[in-house]
Amino acid sequence: MNIVVTGGAGFIGSHLCEKLLELGHSVTSLDNYSTGKVENHIQGVNYISGHTKHIQKHIIFTPDIIYHLGEYSRVEKSFDDIELVLGSNLHGTLSVLEFCRKNKCKLVYAGSSTKFGDNGNSRNESPYAWSKSSNTELVKNYSSWFNMEYAITYFYNVYGGREIAEGEYATVIGIFTRLYKQNKPLPVVSPGTQQRNFTHIDDIVSGLILVGFEGEGDNYGIGHEQSYTILEIAELFQSKIKLIPERRGNRMTSFVYTERIRALGWKPTKSLENFILNITQTHEQRINEDE
């Protein structure tokens, strides 16, 4: 198949491109490199530098599937980046929807699990959460209005190789891993009891591919059902911890909806505790070898 991955040079997108290529598909990435990196490029993937707002100009063939991962994706920072959020998550996604409508290709949209937090009350708590939850409604409406084929997935705190470990868009596990190796305290946003579900990148990619080829409609939650508080995650690193001030839009609970993806035969295979244990054991071994 001919497959387009928006955000294909990013953390999740690069892993998806890599696996799709391994499966024998023709893969094109469209990325504006706001968080994507050239270092994430996979040999054999066709990379196009550009914004999703201009997808009609950049993609001059008809794909079978578009995986739309190329959106703004940070909660707290979205208050400061409102123009970027709206430009990417509203204008960019509208252009992708129009492209899919005109070219009659299937859209796999990466929704946000933030809309399920705090019993569904988190969907309006930040520009990011609002834009993503609004887009899921728009995708479903496009299907109803124009008979567009689609599936919507939801990720839950993805971790693994190539995740961002430093800067404004860094992930929790990435930050904790980097600071642990530097022997620095791990910053936990107050109160620290907010719960999260963490899912390995390999499990996310296997779910995405399954939904892309076999899924239809909404509510494909791809997430490990084991939840942890952020304090519990920090404690797994057996490192010093420092509480930092609470942040706007920081939901306290998380709910994982995996019924539809499990019905397709998916299940998580990776454990966060084993992942962190491997990090700490490998690091300690290197320290002992250097002494």
Tell me the per-residue pLDDT of 232-284, one tens digit each, with 9 for 90 and over. 999 999 989 999 988 776 767 767 889 999 999 999 999 999 999 999 999 98
The pLDDT > 70 percentage for the chain reads 96
Tell me the per-residue pLDDT of 118-128, one tens digit each, with 9 for 90 and over. 555 567 788 88
Instruction: Check residue 268 and report its DSSP letter.
Output: -
| In contact, 79 and 126? CB cutoff 8 Å | yes
The vertex-115 CA angle with 109 and 116, nearest 5°, equals 110
Task: Report the pLDDT value the prediction gives residue 201, as an integer from 0 to 100.
Answer: 97
Domain assignment of residue 217, given as a range: 2-290
The number of folded domains in the chain is: 1
| In contact, 200 and 223? CB cutoff 8 Å | no
Tell me the per-residue pLDDT of 35-64, one tens digit each, with 9 for 90 and over. 999 999 999 999 999 999 999 999 999 999
Picking from 252, 233, 122, 244, the residue whose alpha carbon sits closest to that of residue 195 is 252
Which pTM was predicted?
Answer: 0.92
Tell me the per-residue pLDDT of 201-243, one tens digit each, with 9 for 90 and over. 999 999 999 999 999 999 999 999 999 999 999 999 998 999 9
CB under 8 A, 24+ apart: contacts of 80-87: 81/127, 82/127, 84/34, 85/127, 85/128, 85/131, 86/127, 86/131, 87/51, 87/53
Question: 279: which residues sit within 8 A by CB, 6+ positions away?
Answer: 177, 180, 237
Here the CATH number for the domain that contains residue 197 is 3.40.50.720
Longest dimension (CA), the chain: 66
